[in-house]
A and B are shown apart, each in its own frame.
Chain A
Amino acid sequence: MLVLRRIWISTTERTEGRIETRIRPTVLGFLDGDIPGIRDLTRRDRGVFDRLLIRYSNQISGSKLDSVSQYFSSTHEIDREIATLLSARRAWKRYLAAQRLGAINATVAGPALIVALRDKNFEVRRATVRSLGRLAVADATAGLISALAEGRTPDSLTLWALLQMGAPALETARAHLANGDDRMKIYAIRLVELLGSPRDSVAISTLVHDLSPGVRSAAALALGRLGGASSLTLLLELLEDEEGSVRRDACKALGRLRDKTAIASLLLHADTDEFDVAMASSEALFATDPSILVDLDPGAISSALMESRDLAFIERS
């Protein structure tokens, strides 16, 4: 029985391989706009055509995908994939549906994909996030930030998807800066840091005194990237925060600002017993002005400063 099945599978694969070789120019021509419509394909040929079209669509972006979504809309494939995503019992089917909807540029599937952010299977949610990012579904920004905060989707992939959305994601993130949930606030700050402008430092500044150390840390890092008139002063204040992680992130942020006014404070914190703070401070000094490290007495400095001093020598040579 298994042998027969294996023979059947390999025969099918060979046949479909031959069909694929024959159909490939048609698919490429269709994708390129040379062939406006597809006719006279047998059912089997059309199955291969569809699979090949989805594979190619996964590799490209831009206006050529419009014809792909129109084609799959006309064959009702999009409707079928949406139904599968929302109601299939098997997770692998929902996963494939989530993946394909992004590949075939099915922007109409946005609402269904947003619902799928709450799918019980992690891989389905991951494929959903990828497709939402690929389709840049602006309405999904709130759902994606919520998924981030609740740990339902991978951090880096979800942030990537939000970055694809640009301005709508920034607007949603700004609105969530006042959210009562600390995790939501932290991710909102991260997004504003990545997408925002120096003007956003005003809103971020109000968070440096938040009760949550995580929020204060995120605010420090964001101020380092965004800059702004009061960022330096606030970051120097945060160097005296009661939490070591906040002091560490304030040092990192000062390294991004590269303002020489911070050097004296950074030198003090590079000499502390707290390794993370000392390292972050030393790296910030190196980023701000490596030349001051060269002049330090090697016998009188911490190991963290010594490391940055060595890097400064290498840089100079």
Chain B
Amino acid sequence: MTAPLDGTVADTDHNDHIFTVLVADDEPDVRELVSYRLSRSGYTVIEAKDGEEAIRLATEHCPDCAVIDVMMPKIDGYEVTRALRSDERTRLMPILLLTARAQESDIQTGFDAGADDYLKKPFNPDELVARVRAILSRR
């Protein structure tokens, strides 16, 4: 098991299984930033470039958590969330939505779709890790 390089304690479950996080965003810069920060914090990261790939990778690999951008082409983050919630393999997976849309109605839509948490863009990388850690600890 590799210790996180940012000085924190690796986030694992009781059996020392290292958590895997799916990161889905059509913007490469955001994917790189999120993946880098999560990797440095000791998580294994799987990346998806769009909603279709996110659903496919989620059902194939069953990650422990997903960080999903809302505004993606073809299938947006809300649709991805609904799809994961309706699949037996992924319906309990914690989902954090990442988005620039932060009106009350958008937040409500995200939670109605089944998301567990919501983070506005531009995002604070440390806050992102803290939220991922928090929703994984509630599993």
- Residues of A near any B CB (own CB < 8 A): 24, 28, 31-32, 34, 55-56, 58-64, 134
Q: Lowest 3 A-B CB distances belong to which pairs? A: A62-B124, A61-B122, A28-B36
User: Is the CB–CB distance between A61 and B29 below 8 Å?
Assistant: no
Q: Please provide the chain B residues from 92 to 139 with a CB less than 8 Å away from any CB of chain A in the complex.
A: 121-127
A64 to B123, alpha carbons, bound, how many Å? 11
Q: How far is the CB of B25 from chain A (nearest CB, A)?
A: 10
Q: How far is the CB of A247 from chain B (nearest CB, A)?
A: 27
A61 to B36, alpha carbons, bound, how many Å? 16
Q: Which residues on the A side are within 8 Å of B29 (C-beta)?
A: 55-56, 58-59
Q: Which residues on the B side are within 8 Å of A55 (C-beta)?
A: 29
A60 to B129, alpha carbons, bound, how many Å? 13
Of the candidates A32, A61, A63, A134, the one whose C-beta lies within 8 Å of that of B123 is A61
Interface size range on B against A: 10 to 19
A32 to B36, alpha carbons, bound, how many Å? 9
Q: How far is the CB of A271 from chain B (nearest CB, A)?
A: 30
A60 to B36, alpha carbons, bound, how many Å? 13
- Residue B3 interfacial (CB < 8 Å): no
**What 1/0 flags go to B33-73 for Cβ under 8 Å of A?**
10011001000000000000000000000000000000000
User: Is the CB–CB distance between A56 and B124 below 8 Å?
Assistant: no
Q: Which residues on the A side are within 8 Å of B36 (C-beta)?
A: 28, 32
User: Is the CB–CB distance between B37 and A32 below 8 Å?
Assistant: yes
- Residue B18 interfacial (CB < 8 Å): no
- Residue B30 interfacial (CB < 8 Å): yes
- Residue B27 interfacial (CB < 8 Å): yes
A59 to B122, alpha carbons, bound, how many Å? 5
Task: Take A32-B6, A34-B5 as given contacts and tell me if A60 and B32 are in contact as well, using a CB distance cutoff of 8 Å.
Answer: no
Q: Which residues on the B side are within 8 Å of A59 (C-beta)?
A: 27, 29-30, 33, 121-123
- Residues of B near any A CB (own CB < 8 A): 5-6, 27, 29-30, 32-33, 36-37, 40, 121-127
Q: Which residues on the A side are within 8 Å of B30 (C-beta)?
A: 59
A32 to B39, alpha carbons, bound, how many Å? 12
User: Is the CB–CB distance between A32 and B40 below 8 Å?
Assistant: yes
Nearest residue in A to B6 (C-beta to C-beta)?
A32
Q: How far is the CB of A291 from chain B (nearest CB, A)?
A: 24
Nearest residue in B to A58 (C-beta to C-beta)?
B122
Q: Which residues on the B side are within 8 Å of A64 (C-beta)?
A: 124-126
A59 to B32, alpha carbons, bound, how many Å? 11
User: Is the CB–CB distance between A61 and B124 below 8 Å?
Assistant: yes
User: Is the CB–CB distance between B27 and A60 below 8 Å?
Assistant: no
User: Is the CB–CB distance between B33 and A56 below 8 Å?
Assistant: yes
Q: Which residues on the A side are within 8 Å of B6 (C-beta)?
A: 32, 34
Which of A32, A60, A63 has the most chain B CB atoms inside 10 A of its CB?
Answer: A60
Q: How far is the CB of B102 from chain A (nearest CB, A)?
A: 10
Task: Take A32-B6, A32-B40, A34-B5 as given contacts and tell me if A62 and B32 are in contact as well, using a CB distance cutoff of 8 Å.
Answer: no
User: Is the CB–CB distance between B5 and A62 below 8 Å?
Assistant: no
Of the candidates A24, A60, A134, the one whose C-beta lies within 8 Å of that of B124 is A60
User: Is the CB–CB distance between A32 and B32 below 8 Å?
Assistant: no
Q: How far is the CB of B18 from chain A (nearest CB, A)?
A: 19
Q: Which residues on the A side are within 8 Å of B127 (C-beta)?
A: 62
Known contacts A28-B32, A32-B40, A62-B124; can you find 15 more A-B pairs with CB under 8 A? A32-B6, A32-B125, A34-B6, A56-B32, A56-B33, A58-B29, A59-B27, A59-B33, A60-B124, A62-B125, A62-B126, A62-B127, A63-B126, A64-B124, A64-B125
A291 to B1, alpha carbons, bound, how many Å? 61
Nearest residue in B to A28 (C-beta to C-beta)?
B36
Nearest residue in B to A60 (C-beta to C-beta)?
B122
A5 to B40, alpha carbons, bound, how many Å? 42
Q: What are some 9 contacts across the A-B interface (CB < 8 A)? A: A28-B36, A55-B29, A58-B29, A59-B123, A60-B122, A61-B124, A62-B125, A62-B127, A64-B125
Q: How far is the CB of A66 from chain B (nearest CB, A)?
A: 12
Q: How far is the CB of A201 from chain B (nearest CB, A)?
A: 21
Q: How far is the CB of B138 from chain A (nearest CB, A)?
A: 24
Q: Which residues on the A side are within 8 Å of B27 (C-beta)?
A: 59
A7 to B126, alpha carbons, bound, how many Å? 43
Task: Take A60-B122, A62-B126, A64-B125 as given contacts and tell me if A24 and B32 are in contact as well, using a CB distance cutoff of 8 Å.
Answer: yes
